[in-house]
A and B are shown apart, each in its own frame.
Chain A
Amino acid sequence: MAKRIDVSGLSAYYGSFRAIEDISMTVEPRSVTAFIGPSGCGKSTFLRTLNRMHEVTPGGRVEGKVMLDDENLYGAGVDPVSVRREVGMVFQRPNPFPTMSVYDNVAAGLKLNGSYKKSQLDDIVEKSLKGANLWNEVKDRLNKPGSGLSGGQQQRLCIARAIAVEPKVLLMDEPCSALDPISTLAIEDLIGELKERFTIVIVTHNMQQAARVSDRTAFFNLAAVGQPGKLIEIDDTERIFSNPSVQATEDYISGRFG
């Protein structure tokens, strides 16, 4: 169910500006990979190339290859829409659909993918909300608007919405940066559970968070403002935070930099 991501020679552009340059890495299935690095180093841009969301930005285009198991996401004739049905995404700010109830938010992706019976939908919605550790808090208000929940609950609702369609990969773009510490803890616990079923990639500015939740960590950096961001190194999280092989990584994680 979870799939391996294999990126090779990937560059992404905004118009003529090259935001990230020549990135290659492998993300193992059923693991959590964290992207860290200073602002503007292109880690979010890179994340968005993994489900072809980068092309949604005007002027956005991508060169290189992203293999999801043995399918090239940027191959000829691949529909970005079907890519996004396989690679789910959770955003920095919780973004449940304000015009939908809790239930409809979770079912939103399912309704795109095909027709389900009401009982099937009920089951999947309950399973997804349980999977996002939100069921007990919302089971009595499934028909209330999703925007009425707290920030942390909204973010878990977005996770439930993303996992309801059973993606192969789950991308998370700073999912806790708008949340308080308790909600952050809830999400981090959840990531630990979700990695049993999904390949997870998480962008974070919080290095303790990267150390807590991830199995592998990738450090991105840029030479100067206006220069493209590059992957400096990717390694086991333990090794990155104890004995990285590149000096810049050590400088960054020990706060001597950026």
Chain B
Amino acid sequence: MDITTKNIQTPPPPPQPTVAERKRNARGATRPGDRVFLGLARGSGIFLLVIMAAIAVFLTWRAAVAISKDEGNFLTTFEWNTAGTEPVFGIAVLAYGTIISSIIAMVIAVPVAVAIALFLTHYAPRKLSGPIAYVIDLLAAVPSIVYGLWGALILVPHMDGLFGWLNDYFSWTGIFDWEGGAPRSMLTVGILLAIMILPIITNVSREVFKQVPQMHEEAALALGATRWEVIRMAVLPFGRSGVISASMLGLGRALGETMAVATVLSPDFLIHGSLLNPGGGTFAQNIASKFGEADEFGRDALIASGLVLFVITLLVNGAARAIIARRKEYSGANA
């Protein structure tokens, strides 16, 4: 009796899956195909982060090396001299030029782009809006060097009239003073940038305005709104955050534009109060025109200026996100 009981052993309980295993099962990561795909996807994600981190570390290190040897103040010096034993360089002129040219571009491009997008979605007959949208798509695909050449060969020679007029009537503002130099100035750069960023802002805005629900437009119509009032009451408020995002895409391009600016601008290292007199520079233009002839230290200095541009871009994007988030409950997304 004793022996028999001893020999009969209860079979071991089937192994219970651990919490981690159960989680894995729930994600469907147990079959070979799933496991391979999960590995690939996760690996790609990690790879991207590693590359980003490597670039950031490399750039910051090189920039730090350059800035530590700068005899001037990196933020306020109006000079870029990296050769010799006592290098003096600063980003003041570049930051000013980059921001001013981008502001000019935005001031011109955003209203025009929104107007075009509204025309295409709410005024133009369908037969017309399709082809126009296609042409605008094409404009977005033109390489920037082509814009640069067009700007230098066509735009610059035709700016004299506008510059003279601005100087005659608006020189009292201080920013439209013209001493008669070649119009390779911040205003010309801004106008060219405006033309370049117009397609992207127009296209994104057009997509946003197309998404406005019919029922909101009908609500405004039924109250006795005219077409413009419908746009003001229903379309623009609904599309507001989308237009801001679109503008940020455009601004990103304007801040970083290199070849077109380098081709049109006649650079120097001074801050000019007038937008009409040639001179000034932008981060990207300065890097493009100096990088080829720079020695290793000179390149590090240019990298440092590129980092500043990167920080500016981050700040601008953060500000835009904050603006969009501030009125999220009114966004229409919860309607």
For B223, give its contact among A88, A147, A148 (CB under 8 Å): A88
| Beta-carbon nearest neighbor of B219 in chain A | A95
| Beta-carbon nearest neighbor of A83 in chain B | B224
A76-126, CB < 8 A from B: 81-85, 88-89, 91, 93, 95-101, 108-109, 112-113
Q: Which residues of chain B are near A93, meaning CB under 8 Å?
A: 215
Tell me the complex Cα distance, A108–B223, Å: 8
Q: Which residues of chain A are near B238, meaning CB under 8 Å?
A: 98-99
| Beta-carbon nearest neighbor of B241 in chain A | A99
A91 and B222 contacting across the interface, CB-CB below 8 Å = yes
Tell me the complex Cα distance, A61–B225, Å: 20
Residue B168 is within 8 A (CB to CB) of chain A in the complex: no
B218 and A56 contacting across the interface, CB-CB below 8 Å = yes
A85 and B223 contacting across the interface, CB-CB below 8 Å = yes
Residue A53 is within 8 A (CB to CB) of chain B in the complex: yes
Given contact pairs A91-B215, A98-B238, A165 touches B224 in the complex (Cβ within 8 A): yes
A147 and B229 contacting across the interface, CB-CB below 8 Å = no
Write the nearest CB–CB distance from B169 to chain A, whole angstroms. Answer: 34
B331 and A91 contacting across the interface, CB-CB below 8 Å = no
A84 and B223 contacting across the interface, CB-CB below 8 Å = yes
Tell me the complex Cα distance, A100–B220, Å: 12
Residue A68 is within 8 A (CB to CB) of chain B in the complex: no
Residue B329 is within 8 A (CB to CB) of chain A in the complex: yes
| Beta-carbon nearest neighbor of B227 in chain A | A81
B215 and A95 contacting across the interface, CB-CB below 8 Å = yes
| Beta-carbon nearest neighbor of A111 in chain B | B233
Tell me the complex Cα distance, A83–B330, Å: 30
A17-49, CB < 8 A from B: none
| Beta-carbon nearest neighbor of B327 in chain A | A99
Given contact pairs A98-B330, A148-B334, A84 touches B221 in the complex (Cβ within 8 A): yes
Residue B332 is within 8 A (CB to CB) of chain A in the complex: yes
Tell me the complex Cα distance, A96–B216, Å: 7
Looking at A53, A81, A161, the one whose CB has the most chain B CB atoms below 10 A away is A81
| Beta-carbon nearest neighbor of B238 in chain A | A99
Residue B240 is within 8 A (CB to CB) of chain A in the complex: yes
Write the nearest CB–CB distance from A17 to chain B, whole angstroms. Answer: 18
Q: Which residues of chain B are near A100, meaning CB under 8 Å?
A: 237, 330
A153-173, CB < 8 A from B: 158, 161-162, 165
Residue B226 is within 8 A (CB to CB) of chain A in the complex: yes
For B224, give its contact among A84, A98, A145 (CB under 8 Å): A84
Looking at A51, A83, A84, A148, the one whose CB has the most chain B CB atoms below 10 A away is A84
Tell me the complex Cα distance, A43–B233, Å: 29
* 7 interchain residue pairs of minimum CB distance: A85-B224, A99-B237, A98-B332, A98-B335, A89-B222, A109-B223, A84-B224
Q: Which positions in B face A, CB cutoff 8 Å?
A: 213, 215-216, 218-226, 229, 233-234, 237-238, 240, 327, 329-335
Given contacts A99-B331, A99-B332, 13 further A-B contacts (CB under 8 A): A56-B218, A81-B224, A84-B225, A89-B222, A93-B215, A95-B218, A99-B237, A99-B238, A108-B223, A112-B223, A112-B224, A147-B332, A162-B222
Q: 18 A–B contact pairs at CB < 8 A?
A: A56-B221, A81-B226, A85-B223, A91-B218, A95-B218, A98-B333, A98-B335, A99-B327, A99-B330, A99-B332, A101-B330, A109-B223, A113-B224, A145-B329, A145-B334, A147-B332, A162-B222, A162-B223
